[in-house]
Amino acid sequence: MIEEKCQDYDDNNLVTLSINDSQYFYCLMKRYEEKLSNYIKRFTYLADEDIADIVQESFISVYQHLNDCDCKLKFSSWMYRIVHNQAINFIKKNKQSIKIDLENDDEFVDWLVADTDIEKETIIKYFNEYVKTVIEKLKPIYKEVLVLKFFEDKDYQEISDILQKPMGTVATLLSRAKIQFKQIYEKEKKY
């Protein structure tokens, strides 16, 4: 079976092999299918059929551009970038907004409360009914960075490669996301 054969190869080897044999590309798709579907789901809230379409379109695009693979980057970053752009295009085309599906993640909550006067217990207690609403109101680019950092566990370099922004800008976006979160949180608290 091709899938067993593929286990011995890393992503970059599979890219090289896929150029001449699409069966190897199947292995690459298998590796990323679930991860990419979950990623789109987290920041788009789209229906499963739409997500499947986006992932399929992205795979075809990746396949056509295999000879242009920026293999100095991690292959996963390149794959995420293409699927990210496809998803953003889909959202724009269908005039939808970015809605992120976040969980009560420890690392995320710690980051959110660090250097602010917001209490961790409050965030955890009201995460589903309150914090999520505040996050919903953040600028789309802030939501995208948050998803990649805390829910896809990407480092700054990978986020920079996926969103095609300098690493310094990624750090700035994260910091601004927190500032905006705090502003909206304080405003909402008054009501």
Partner 1 sequence: MKKKKSISELTLKTITKKQIKPIPKWEFIARKWTLWSGIIASLVVLIIGLGLAIFGVIDNIISPYFWLIIVIIFWGLSYFLFEKTKRAYIFAKWKVVIVINIIGLIIGGVMFRCGLAKKIDLDLETKLPYYRQMVPMKIATWTNPKAGYLSGEIVKINENNFEIKDFEGKDWTITGRPLIRDRVSKITGEEIKLIGVQIDDNTFESSEIRPWTGRGQNMMKENY
- Best CA proximity match to 55, nearest among 25, 70, 74, 35: 35
Q: Is 38 in the site for partner 1 (CB under 8 A)?
A: no
DSSP 149: I
Q: Is 33 in the site for partner 1 (CB under 8 A)?
A: yes
Q: Is 10 in the site for partner 1 (CB under 8 A)?
A: no
| Helix/strand/coil percent split, the chain, to 5 | 75, 0, 25
Binding residue (CB under 8 A) for partner 1 from 11, 37, 137, 180: 37
The whole-angstrom separation of Cα 167 and Cα 169 is: 5
Q: Contacts with partner 1: how many residues (CB under 8 A)?
A: 29
Binding residue (CB under 8 A) for partner 1 from 14, 40, 66, 131: 66
The whole-angstrom separation of Cα 100 and Cα 146 is: 9
Q: Is 60 in the site for partner 1 (CB under 8 A)?
A: yes
CB atoms within 10 A of CB 164: 10
Q: Is 176 in the site for partner 1 (CB under 8 A)?
A: no
- Best CA proximity match to 45, nearest among 172, 174, 135: 135
Q: Is 56 in the site for partner 1 (CB under 8 A)?
A: yes
Q: Is 171 in the site for partner 1 (CB under 8 A)?
A: no
Q: Is 49 in the site for partner 1 (CB under 8 A)?
A: no
Q: Enumerate binding residues for partner 1 (CB under 8 A).
A: 18-19, 22-23, 25-26, 29-30, 33, 37, 52, 55-56, 59-60, 63-68, 70, 160, 164-169
